[in-house]
Chain A
Amino acid sequence: SQTIHQWPATLVQPVGSPLSLECTVEGTSNPNLYWYRQAAGRGLQLLFYSVGIGQISSEVPQNLSASRPQDRQFILSSKKLLLSDSGFYLCAWSVYDLGAAGMNNEQFFGPGTRLTVL
Chain B
Amino acid sequence: AQKITQTQPGMFVQEKEAVTLDCTYDTSDPSYGLFWYKQPSSGEMIFLIYQGSYDQQNATEGRYSLNFQKARKSANLVISASQLGDSAMYFCASHSLGKVTFGTGTKLQVIP
Kindly report which residue of chain B lies nearest to residue A51, judged by CB atoms. Answer: B98
* Interface residues on chain B, size class: 20 to 34
- A9 to B, closest residue via Cβ: B43
Report the minimum CB–CB distance from B32 to chain A (whole Å). Answer: 7
Q: Which residues of B contact A88 (CB under 8 A)?
A: 43
Closest Cβ of chain A to B100, distance in Å, is 5
Query: Is B12's beta carbon under 8 Å from chain A?
Result: no
CB-CB under 8 A from B103, the residues of chain A are 43
B91 contacts A by Cβ under 8 Å: yes
Distance to closest chain B CB from A107 (angstroms): 7
Does more than half of chain B's interface fall in helix, strand or loop, or is it mixed?
strand
Interface residues on A, range: 20 to 34
| B99 / chain A contacts, CB cutoff of 8 Å | 46, 59
**With A44-B91, A103-B32, A104-B33: A109-B104 Cβ-Cβ less than 8 Å:** no
List B56-94 residues whose CB lies under 8 Å from chain A.
Answer: 91, 93
Could you tell me if B102 and A106 are in contact, using CB atoms closer than 8 angstroms? no
Residues facing B in A31-86 (CB within 8 A) are 34, 36, 42-46, 49, 57, 59
Minimum Cβ distance to chain B for residue A114 (Å)? 7
Complex Cα distance A109/B46, Å? 7
Let me know if B96 is at the binding interface, CB within 8 A. yes
Is A101 close to B, CB under 8 A? Answer: yes
Q: How far is the CA of A50 from the CA of B44 in the complex (A)?
A: 21
Contact B47 A106 (CB under 8 A): yes
In the complex, chain A residues whose CB is within 8 Å of the CB of B47: 106-108
Q: What are 28 A-to-B residue pairs whose CB atoms are below 8 Å?
A: A34-B100, A43-B103, A43-B104, A45-B102, A46-B102, A49-B98, A49-B100, A57-B98, A88-B43, A90-B43, A100-B97, A101-B95, A101-B97, A102-B98, A103-B32, A103-B95, A103-B98, A104-B33, A104-B50, A106-B47, A106-B50, A107-B35, A107-B45, A107-B100, A109-B37, A109-B44, A109-B45, A109-B46
